[in-house]
Amino acid sequence: MSIFGSMKTAVSGMNAQANRLSTVADNIANVNTTGYKAVSTSFSSLVLPSSGGNYNSGGVQTSVRQAVSDQGDISYTTSGTDLAISGDGFFIVQGADGTPVLTRAGDFTKDDEGNLVNAAGFQLMGYSYDSGAPAVVVNGFDGLVPVNVNQDGLTAIASTSGVFKGNLDSNAKIAPVAPATLPSANAATTTTDTKKVSMVAYDRLGNKVMYDFYFTKQSVVTPPPATPATAATWEVAMFRNANAAVGGTTSFPYSAGGAVGTGTLTFDANGKMTSSGAVNIVDTVTGQTIAMDLSGFTQLGADFSGTGTPNGQAATPVKDVTIDGDGIVYAKYEDGSTKPLYRIPLANVASPDKLTLMSGNVYSANGQSGVTVTGFPQTNGLGTIKSGALEGSNVDLAGELTEMIESQRSYTANSKVFQTGSDIMDVLVNLKR
Protein backbone atom coordinates (compact mmCIF):
# COMPACT_ATOMS: atom_id res chain seq x y z
CA MET A 1 0.00 0.00 0.00
CA SER A 2 1.29 3.42 -0.92
CA ILE A 3 0.49 6.45 1.21
CA PHE A 4 1.32 8.63 -1.74
CA GLY A 5 -1.11 6.55 -3.82
CA SER A 6 -3.96 7.19 -1.42
CA MET A 7 -3.23 10.90 -1.49
CA LYS A 8 -3.21 10.92 -5.28
CA THR A 9 -6.49 9.01 -5.27
CA ALA A 10 -7.96 11.66 -2.98
CA VAL A 11 -6.74 14.38 -5.34
CA SER A 12 -8.38 12.52 -8.24
CA GLY A 13 -11.64 12.43 -6.27
CA MET A 14 -11.47 16.14 -5.47
CA ASN A 15 -10.83 16.98 -9.14
CA ALA A 16 -13.78 14.82 -10.15
CA GLN A 17 -16.09 16.56 -7.68
CA ALA A 18 -14.77 19.92 -8.85
CA ASN A 19 -15.77 18.99 -12.41
CA ARG A 20 -19.18 17.93 -11.16
CA LEU A 21 -19.57 21.21 -9.31
CA SER A 22 -18.62 23.06 -12.51
CA THR A 23 -21.45 21.45 -14.47
CA VAL A 24 -23.85 22.19 -11.63
CA ALA A 25 -22.73 25.83 -11.67
CA ASP A 26 -23.23 26.01 -15.44
CA ASN A 27 -26.72 24.55 -15.18
CA ILE A 28 -27.80 26.86 -12.38
CA ALA A 29 -26.39 29.88 -14.22
CA ASN A 30 -28.39 28.95 -17.34
CA VAL A 31 -31.61 27.88 -15.62
CA ASN A 32 -33.41 30.72 -17.45
CA THR A 33 -31.51 30.53 -20.74
CA THR A 34 -33.85 29.89 -23.68
CA GLY A 35 -33.28 26.47 -25.21
CA TYR A 36 -30.43 25.59 -22.86
CA LYS A 37 -29.74 21.88 -22.39
CA ALA A 38 -28.44 20.63 -19.04
CA VAL A 39 -25.02 19.02 -18.71
CA SER A 40 -24.06 16.42 -16.14
CA THR A 41 -20.90 14.68 -14.93
CA SER A 42 -20.46 10.92 -15.19
CA PHE A 43 -17.84 9.07 -13.13
CA SER A 44 -15.82 5.99 -14.03
CA SER A 45 -13.16 4.24 -11.94
CA LEU A 46 -9.44 3.97 -12.71
CA VAL A 47 -8.01 0.71 -11.31
CA LEU A 48 -4.29 0.06 -10.74
CA PRO A 49 -2.98 -3.51 -10.63
CA SER A 50 -2.53 -4.94 -7.12
CA SER A 51 -0.67 -8.06 -5.97
CA GLY A 52 -0.75 -10.22 -2.87
CA GLY A 53 -1.65 -8.28 0.21
CA ASN A 54 -0.76 -4.91 -1.32
CA TYR A 55 -3.60 -2.84 -2.69
CA ASN A 56 -2.86 0.10 -4.97
CA SER A 57 -5.60 2.68 -4.94
CA GLY A 58 -6.51 3.97 -8.36
CA GLY A 59 -8.65 7.02 -9.03
CA VAL A 60 -11.69 8.33 -10.84
CA GLN A 61 -12.19 10.08 -14.14
CA THR A 62 -15.13 12.13 -15.36
CA SER A 63 -16.92 12.74 -18.63
CA VAL A 64 -19.53 15.37 -19.38
CA ARG A 65 -22.91 14.34 -20.78
CA GLN A 66 -25.44 16.65 -22.45
CA ALA A 67 -29.22 16.22 -22.29
CA VAL A 68 -29.70 17.83 -25.71
CA SER A 69 -32.47 15.44 -26.74
CA ASP A 70 -34.60 16.22 -23.65
CA GLN A 71 -37.44 18.63 -24.44
CA GLY A 72 -37.68 21.77 -22.33
CA ASP A 73 -40.96 23.29 -21.20
CA ILE A 74 -42.67 25.51 -23.79
CA SER A 75 -44.09 28.81 -22.63
CA TYR A 76 -46.09 31.26 -24.73
CA THR A 77 -45.11 34.90 -25.33
CA THR A 78 -46.59 37.97 -26.98
CA SER A 79 -44.03 38.13 -29.81
CA GLY A 80 -44.85 36.35 -33.07
CA THR A 81 -41.15 36.01 -33.91
CA ASP A 82 -40.46 33.94 -30.79
CA LEU A 83 -40.19 30.35 -32.00
CA ALA A 84 -40.13 27.03 -30.18
CA ILE A 85 -39.66 23.51 -31.52
CA SER A 86 -42.05 20.89 -30.21
CA GLY A 87 -40.30 17.61 -30.96
CA ASP A 88 -36.99 16.82 -32.62
CA GLY A 89 -34.84 19.18 -34.62
CA PHE A 90 -32.81 22.37 -34.42
CA PHE A 91 -33.04 25.81 -36.00
CA ILE A 92 -30.25 26.55 -38.48
CA VAL A 93 -28.56 29.84 -37.62
CA GLN A 94 -25.35 31.59 -38.56
CA GLY A 95 -23.00 33.83 -36.64
CA ALA A 96 -20.91 36.78 -37.74
CA ASP A 97 -18.48 34.45 -39.55
CA GLY A 98 -21.28 33.05 -41.72
CA THR A 99 -20.85 29.45 -40.53
CA PRO A 100 -24.17 27.60 -40.12
CA VAL A 101 -24.72 26.02 -36.68
CA LEU A 102 -27.66 24.50 -34.81
CA THR A 103 -29.67 25.82 -31.87
CA ARG A 104 -32.92 25.36 -29.96
CA ALA A 105 -32.89 29.00 -28.79
CA GLY A 106 -35.73 30.61 -30.74
CA ASP A 107 -35.91 34.01 -29.04
CA PHE A 108 -35.69 35.87 -32.35
CA THR A 109 -36.20 39.59 -32.79
CA LYS A 110 -35.81 41.89 -35.78
CA ASP A 111 -32.47 43.70 -35.99
CA ASP A 112 -31.84 47.06 -37.70
CA GLU A 113 -31.74 45.37 -41.11
CA GLY A 114 -34.89 43.31 -40.56
CA ASN A 115 -33.11 39.97 -40.03
CA LEU A 116 -34.37 37.67 -37.27
CA VAL A 117 -31.60 37.38 -34.66
CA ASN A 118 -31.69 35.56 -31.30
CA ALA A 119 -30.30 36.78 -27.98
CA ALA A 120 -26.85 35.36 -28.76
CA GLY A 121 -26.68 37.29 -32.06
CA PHE A 122 -27.23 34.34 -34.42
CA GLN A 123 -29.32 34.92 -37.56
CA LEU A 124 -32.17 32.55 -38.40
CA MET A 125 -31.77 30.89 -41.81
CA GLY A 126 -34.48 29.82 -44.25
CA TYR A 127 -35.34 29.22 -47.90
CA SER A 128 -36.74 32.15 -49.91
CA TYR A 129 -39.93 32.04 -51.98
CA ASP A 130 -38.47 34.48 -54.55
CA SER A 131 -38.24 31.67 -57.12
CA GLY A 132 -41.41 29.85 -56.10
CA ALA A 133 -41.97 27.18 -53.46
CA PRO A 134 -38.52 26.13 -52.16
CA ALA A 135 -37.15 22.59 -51.99
CA VAL A 136 -35.03 21.44 -49.07
CA VAL A 137 -31.38 20.44 -49.48
CA VAL A 138 -31.31 17.37 -47.24
CA ASN A 139 -27.54 16.95 -46.93
CA GLY A 140 -26.30 20.50 -46.56
CA PHE A 141 -27.04 24.16 -45.96
CA ASP A 142 -26.92 25.33 -49.58
CA GLY A 143 -29.67 27.74 -50.60
CA LEU A 144 -30.28 29.08 -47.07
CA VAL A 145 -30.47 32.84 -46.59
CA PRO A 146 -31.11 35.02 -43.53
CA VAL A 147 -34.83 35.37 -42.81
CA ASN A 148 -35.64 39.06 -43.30
CA VAL A 149 -39.04 40.36 -42.21
CA ASN A 150 -38.42 44.01 -43.07
CA GLN A 151 -41.37 44.45 -45.47
CA ASP A 152 -41.75 48.22 -45.57
CA GLY A 153 -43.65 50.03 -48.31
CA LEU A 154 -46.32 48.77 -50.71
CA THR A 155 -46.25 45.50 -52.64
CA ALA A 156 -48.16 44.77 -55.86
CA ILE A 157 -48.27 41.42 -57.68
CA ALA A 158 -49.71 41.04 -61.18
CA SER A 159 -52.22 38.24 -61.81
CA THR A 160 -50.85 35.45 -63.99
CA SER A 161 -53.33 32.66 -63.32
CA GLY A 162 -56.72 32.02 -61.81
CA VAL A 163 -59.23 29.33 -60.97
CA PHE A 164 -62.93 29.59 -61.81
CA LYS A 165 -65.40 26.95 -60.68
CA GLY A 166 -69.13 26.52 -60.29
CA ASN A 167 -72.12 24.92 -62.02
CA LEU A 168 -73.75 25.44 -65.42
CA ASP A 169 -77.47 24.71 -65.39
CA SER A 170 -78.13 21.62 -67.52
CA ASN A 171 -81.67 22.92 -68.17
CA ALA A 172 -80.44 26.08 -69.89
CA LYS A 173 -81.73 26.63 -73.42
CA ILE A 174 -79.43 26.27 -76.40
CA ALA A 175 -78.43 29.54 -78.04
CA PRO A 176 -79.62 30.14 -81.62
CA VAL A 177 -77.30 28.66 -84.20
CA ALA A 178 -76.42 32.03 -85.72
CA PRO A 179 -72.86 32.90 -84.51
CA ALA A 180 -73.83 36.56 -84.26
CA THR A 181 -75.94 35.75 -81.21
CA LEU A 182 -73.04 34.32 -79.17
CA PRO A 183 -71.22 36.56 -76.66
CA SER A 184 -67.94 36.02 -78.52
CA ALA A 185 -69.45 37.93 -81.46
CA ASN A 186 -69.74 40.98 -79.18
CA ALA A 187 -73.26 41.67 -80.43
CA ALA A 188 -76.25 43.12 -78.61
CA THR A 189 -78.43 40.17 -79.56
CA THR A 190 -77.00 37.79 -76.97
CA THR A 191 -79.49 35.19 -75.80
CA THR A 192 -81.13 35.69 -72.41
CA ASP A 193 -80.05 32.19 -71.36
CA THR A 194 -76.41 33.32 -71.34
CA LYS A 195 -75.09 33.50 -67.77
CA LYS A 196 -72.69 36.18 -66.63
CA VAL A 197 -70.28 36.39 -63.68
CA SER A 198 -67.31 38.68 -63.02
CA MET A 199 -63.85 38.31 -61.48
CA VAL A 200 -61.32 40.86 -60.25
CA ALA A 201 -57.62 40.47 -61.16
CA TYR A 202 -54.62 42.80 -60.76
CA ASP A 203 -52.30 44.50 -63.21
CA ARG A 204 -48.56 45.04 -62.74
CA LEU A 205 -49.14 48.18 -60.66
CA GLY A 206 -51.65 46.50 -58.37
CA ASN A 207 -54.69 48.14 -59.98
CA LYS A 208 -57.88 46.08 -59.99
CA VAL A 209 -59.06 44.88 -63.39
CA MET A 210 -62.54 43.30 -63.62
CA TYR A 211 -63.34 40.70 -66.26
CA ASP A 212 -66.84 39.61 -67.29
CA PHE A 213 -67.32 35.90 -68.04
CA TYR A 214 -70.25 34.80 -70.28
CA PHE A 215 -71.33 31.15 -70.45
CA THR A 216 -73.63 30.09 -73.30
CA LYS A 217 -74.96 26.62 -74.08
CA GLN A 218 -74.25 25.79 -77.73
CA SER A 219 -75.24 22.21 -78.36
CA VAL A 220 -76.54 19.00 -76.81
CA VAL A 221 -75.60 15.49 -77.86
CA THR A 222 -78.37 13.01 -77.10
CA PRO A 223 -77.03 9.57 -76.12
CA PRO A 224 -78.81 6.23 -76.70
CA PRO A 225 -82.28 5.88 -75.14
CA ALA A 226 -80.99 3.75 -72.27
CA THR A 227 -78.94 6.73 -71.02
CA PRO A 228 -81.12 9.25 -69.15
CA ALA A 229 -78.74 12.23 -69.34
CA THR A 230 -77.32 14.26 -72.23
CA ALA A 231 -73.89 15.74 -72.95
CA ALA A 232 -73.42 19.39 -73.89
CA THR A 233 -71.00 22.02 -75.18
CA TRP A 234 -70.75 25.55 -73.77
CA GLU A 235 -68.96 28.64 -74.97
CA VAL A 236 -67.13 30.88 -72.49
CA ALA A 237 -66.26 34.43 -73.56
CA MET A 238 -64.36 36.97 -71.44
CA PHE A 239 -64.36 40.77 -71.69
CA ARG A 240 -62.83 43.72 -69.85
CA ASN A 241 -65.61 45.15 -67.67
CA ALA A 242 -64.24 48.67 -68.22
CA ASN A 243 -65.01 48.31 -71.95
CA ALA A 244 -68.72 47.49 -71.43
CA ALA A 245 -71.35 49.58 -73.17
CA VAL A 246 -73.15 52.11 -71.01
CA GLY A 247 -76.62 53.65 -71.14
CA GLY A 248 -78.40 50.63 -72.59
CA THR A 249 -79.94 47.41 -71.31
CA THR A 250 -76.88 45.23 -72.04
CA SER A 251 -73.12 45.44 -71.70
CA PHE A 252 -72.74 44.61 -75.40
CA PRO A 253 -71.04 45.62 -77.50
CA TYR A 254 -67.77 45.94 -75.61
CA SER A 255 -65.26 48.43 -76.99
CA ALA A 256 -61.51 48.05 -77.64
CA GLY A 257 -61.59 44.88 -79.70
CA GLY A 258 -64.25 42.87 -77.91
CA ALA A 259 -63.46 39.58 -76.17
CA VAL A 260 -60.10 39.15 -74.44
CA GLY A 261 -60.48 35.37 -74.48
CA THR A 262 -62.83 32.61 -75.59
CA GLY A 263 -63.03 28.86 -75.08
CA THR A 264 -65.21 25.78 -75.27
CA LEU A 265 -66.28 23.61 -72.35
CA THR A 266 -67.65 20.12 -72.99
CA PHE A 267 -69.46 17.88 -70.52
CA ASP A 268 -70.34 14.21 -70.53
CA ALA A 269 -73.76 12.67 -69.83
CA ASN A 270 -73.03 12.81 -66.06
CA GLY A 271 -72.32 16.53 -66.06
CA LYS A 272 -68.55 16.14 -65.68
CA MET A 273 -66.21 18.22 -67.80
CA THR A 274 -64.39 16.30 -70.53
CA SER A 275 -62.38 19.23 -71.94
CA SER A 276 -59.28 20.65 -70.25
CA GLY A 277 -61.01 23.78 -69.01
CA ALA A 278 -57.93 25.84 -69.82
CA VAL A 279 -58.71 29.32 -71.20
CA ASN A 280 -56.38 32.32 -71.48
CA ILE A 281 -57.23 35.96 -70.90
CA VAL A 282 -55.03 38.04 -73.24
CA ASP A 283 -55.41 41.66 -72.19
CA THR A 284 -53.75 44.06 -74.63
CA VAL A 285 -54.43 47.01 -72.33
CA THR A 286 -52.41 45.67 -69.39
CA GLY A 287 -50.13 43.50 -71.52
CA GLN A 288 -50.91 40.48 -69.33
CA THR A 289 -51.87 36.91 -70.09
CA ILE A 290 -53.86 35.21 -67.33
CA ALA A 291 -54.14 31.42 -67.55
CA MET A 292 -57.61 30.49 -66.30
CA ASP A 293 -58.50 27.01 -65.07
CA LEU A 294 -62.22 26.32 -65.50
CA SER A 295 -61.97 22.55 -64.97
CA GLY A 296 -63.91 22.89 -61.72
CA PHE A 297 -67.19 23.57 -63.50
CA THR A 298 -69.98 20.98 -63.61
CA GLN A 299 -73.19 20.81 -65.65
CA LEU A 300 -75.95 19.63 -63.36
CA GLY A 301 -79.63 20.34 -62.89
CA ALA A 302 -79.08 23.23 -60.47
CA ASP A 303 -78.94 27.02 -60.68
CA PHE A 304 -75.95 28.66 -62.27
CA SER A 305 -73.12 29.58 -59.90
CA GLY A 306 -69.52 30.69 -60.29
CA THR A 307 -66.65 31.90 -58.14
CA GLY A 308 -63.23 33.04 -59.25
CA THR A 309 -59.92 33.13 -57.43
CA PRO A 310 -57.01 34.75 -59.30
CA ASN A 311 -53.51 35.10 -57.96
CA GLY A 312 -51.89 38.52 -57.68
CA GLN A 313 -52.29 41.29 -55.17
CA ALA A 314 -53.34 44.90 -55.02
CA ALA A 315 -50.89 47.57 -53.91
CA THR A 316 -51.20 46.93 -50.18
CA PRO A 317 -48.91 47.63 -47.20
CA VAL A 318 -47.67 44.82 -44.98
CA LYS A 319 -49.48 44.79 -41.65
CA ASP A 320 -47.81 41.86 -39.91
CA VAL A 321 -45.52 38.85 -40.37
CA THR A 322 -46.72 35.43 -39.22
CA ILE A 323 -45.05 32.01 -39.01
CA ASP A 324 -47.02 28.76 -39.11
CA GLY A 325 -46.27 25.26 -37.80
CA ASP A 326 -44.74 24.22 -41.13
CA GLY A 327 -42.15 26.97 -40.83
CA ILE A 328 -43.61 29.19 -43.57
CA VAL A 329 -43.09 32.91 -42.94
CA TYR A 330 -46.03 34.91 -44.33
CA ALA A 331 -46.40 38.62 -44.95
CA LYS A 332 -49.93 39.58 -43.93
CA TYR A 333 -51.27 42.58 -45.81
CA GLU A 334 -53.75 45.22 -44.74
CA ASP A 335 -56.46 43.81 -46.99
CA GLY A 336 -56.21 40.41 -45.25
CA SER A 337 -54.27 38.63 -47.99
CA THR A 338 -51.03 36.78 -47.28
CA LYS A 339 -47.85 36.03 -49.22
CA PRO A 340 -45.19 33.42 -48.33
CA LEU A 341 -41.74 34.92 -47.91
CA TYR A 342 -39.54 32.16 -46.46
CA ARG A 343 -39.76 28.60 -45.22
CA ILE A 344 -37.76 27.75 -42.12
CA PRO A 345 -36.18 24.27 -42.15
CA LEU A 346 -35.10 22.17 -39.19
CA ALA A 347 -31.97 20.03 -38.94
CA ASN A 348 -31.17 16.97 -36.89
CA VAL A 349 -28.43 14.42 -36.28
CA ALA A 350 -28.46 10.76 -35.32
CA SER A 351 -27.13 11.43 -31.79
CA PRO A 352 -28.03 14.96 -30.60
CA ASP A 353 -26.49 14.35 -27.16
CA LYS A 354 -23.06 14.01 -28.82
CA LEU A 355 -23.13 17.39 -30.55
CA THR A 356 -20.31 19.81 -29.85
CA LEU A 357 -21.50 22.64 -27.58
CA MET A 358 -20.30 26.12 -28.54
CA SER A 359 -20.67 29.58 -27.04
CA GLY A 360 -24.06 31.17 -27.66
CA ASN A 361 -26.03 28.00 -26.93
CA VAL A 362 -25.35 26.59 -30.40
CA TYR A 363 -24.11 23.20 -31.56
CA SER A 364 -22.05 21.79 -34.39
CA ALA A 365 -21.99 18.26 -35.74
CA ASN A 366 -18.99 15.97 -35.28
CA GLY A 367 -18.00 12.37 -35.93
CA GLN A 368 -19.82 11.09 -32.85
CA SER A 369 -23.10 12.93 -33.44
CA GLY A 370 -23.47 11.88 -37.06
CA VAL A 371 -24.07 13.97 -40.16
CA THR A 372 -26.62 16.77 -40.26
CA VAL A 373 -29.87 16.04 -42.10
CA THR A 374 -32.12 18.95 -43.07
CA GLY A 375 -35.88 18.86 -43.64
CA PHE A 376 -39.06 20.86 -43.26
CA PRO A 377 -41.02 20.78 -39.98
CA GLN A 378 -43.41 17.84 -39.50
CA THR A 379 -41.54 15.72 -42.07
CA ASN A 380 -39.14 12.80 -41.54
CA GLY A 381 -39.63 12.78 -37.78
CA LEU A 382 -38.91 16.49 -37.29
CA GLY A 383 -40.99 18.51 -34.85
CA THR A 384 -43.40 21.40 -35.21
CA ILE A 385 -42.54 25.09 -35.03
CA LYS A 386 -44.69 27.05 -32.59
CA SER A 387 -44.86 30.78 -33.15
CA GLY A 388 -45.19 33.08 -30.15
CA ALA A 389 -43.57 30.51 -27.86
CA LEU A 390 -40.17 29.70 -26.38
CA GLU A 391 -38.59 26.48 -25.18
CA GLY A 392 -37.15 26.95 -21.71
CA SER A 393 -34.09 25.37 -20.17
CA ASN A 394 -34.49 21.69 -19.25
CA VAL A 395 -32.50 22.20 -16.02
CA ASP A 396 -34.12 20.78 -12.85
CA LEU A 397 -33.12 23.39 -10.28
CA ALA A 398 -34.01 21.24 -7.27
CA GLY A 399 -31.94 18.39 -8.65
CA GLU A 400 -28.98 20.68 -9.28
CA LEU A 401 -29.05 22.00 -5.72
CA THR A 402 -29.11 18.42 -4.44
CA GLU A 403 -26.13 17.55 -6.64
CA MET A 404 -24.30 20.61 -5.37
CA ILE A 405 -24.69 19.44 -1.76
CA GLU A 406 -23.60 15.91 -2.70
CA SER A 407 -20.57 17.25 -4.55
CA GLN A 408 -19.63 19.43 -1.60
CA ARG A 409 -19.84 16.50 0.84
CA SER A 410 -17.89 14.20 -1.47
CA TYR A 411 -15.19 16.83 -1.98
CA THR A 412 -14.89 17.25 1.79
CA ALA A 413 -14.60 13.49 2.29
CA ASN A 414 -11.85 13.25 -0.34
CA SER A 415 -10.01 16.11 1.31
CA LYS A 416 -10.17 14.21 4.62
CA VAL A 417 -8.49 11.23 2.92
CA PHE A 418 -5.78 13.55 1.63
CA GLN A 419 -5.40 15.13 5.08
CA THR A 420 -5.15 11.73 6.74
CA GLY A 421 -2.43 10.69 4.29
CA SER A 422 -0.61 13.91 5.03
CA ASP A 423 -0.82 13.23 8.79
CA ILE A 424 0.64 9.74 8.30
CA MET A 425 3.48 11.24 6.31
CA ASP A 426 4.16 13.57 9.24
CA VAL A 427 4.34 10.55 11.56
CA LEU A 428 6.87 8.87 9.26
CA VAL A 429 8.98 12.01 9.03
CA ASN A 430 8.92 12.43 12.81
CA LEU A 431 10.19 8.86 13.37
CA LYS A 432 13.63 10.06 12.33
CA ARG A 433 13.79 12.56 15.18
What pLDDT digit, counting tens, does each position of 399-417 carry? Answer: 999 999 999 999 999 999 8
Q: How far apart are CA 350 and CA 381, in angstroms?
A: 12
Rg (CA), the chain: 37
Lowest mean pLDDT among 20-24, 200-204, 227-231, 257-261: 227-231
User: Per-residue pLDDT averaged across 251-271, rounded?
Assistant: 91
Task: Give residue 150's pLDDT.
Answer: 85
Q: Which phi and psi (to 5°) does residue 333 adopt? A: -95, 165
Contact (CB, 8 A) for 12 and 416: no
First and final C-alpha spacing in the chain: 24
User: Per-residue pLDDT averaged across 89-117, rounded?
Assistant: 95
Q: What pairing do the DSSP bridges indicate for beta strands 161-169 and 288-300? A: parallel
- Stated as kind and residue range, the H or E segment containing 334 is none
Q: What is the average pLDDT score of the chain?
A: 90
User: Per-residue pLDDT averaged across 66-84, rounded?
Assistant: 94
For residues 141 and 154, the model is more confident at: 141
Lowest mean pLDDT among 2-6, 75-79, 90-94: 2-6
The answer, yes or no, to whether residue 131 has pLDDT greater than 70, is yes
The answer, yes or no, to whether residue 5 has pLDDT greater than 90, is no
For 312-361, how does the pLDDT look when each residue is reduced to its tens digit (9 = 90+)?
A: 888 888 888 899 999 999 988 887 778 899 999 999 999 999 999 999 99
Q: How far apart are CA 121 and CA 412, in angstroms?
A: 41
User: Per-residue pLDDT averaged across 95-123, rounded?
Assistant: 94
Task: Give residue 191's pLDDT.
Answer: 65
The answer, yes or no, to whether residue 160 has pLDDT greater than 80, is yes
Task: Give residue 291's pLDDT.
Answer: 97
Task: Give residue 279's pLDDT.
Answer: 97
Q: How far apart are CA 102 and CA 363, in angstroms?
A: 5
Q: How far apart are CA 256 and CA 254, in angstroms?
A: 7
Task: Give residue 175's pLDDT.
Answer: 72
For 119-128, how does the pLDDT look when each residue is reduced to its tens digit (9 = 90+)?
A: 999 999 999 9
Task: Give residue 378's pLDDT.
Answer: 93
Task: Give residue 289's pLDDT.
Answer: 96
Task: Give residue 287's pLDDT.
Answer: 93
For 272-301, how does the pLDDT look when each residue is reduced to its tens digit (9 = 90+)?
A: 999 999 999 999 999 999 999 999 999 999
Q: How far apart are CA 94 and CA 391, in angstroms?
A: 19
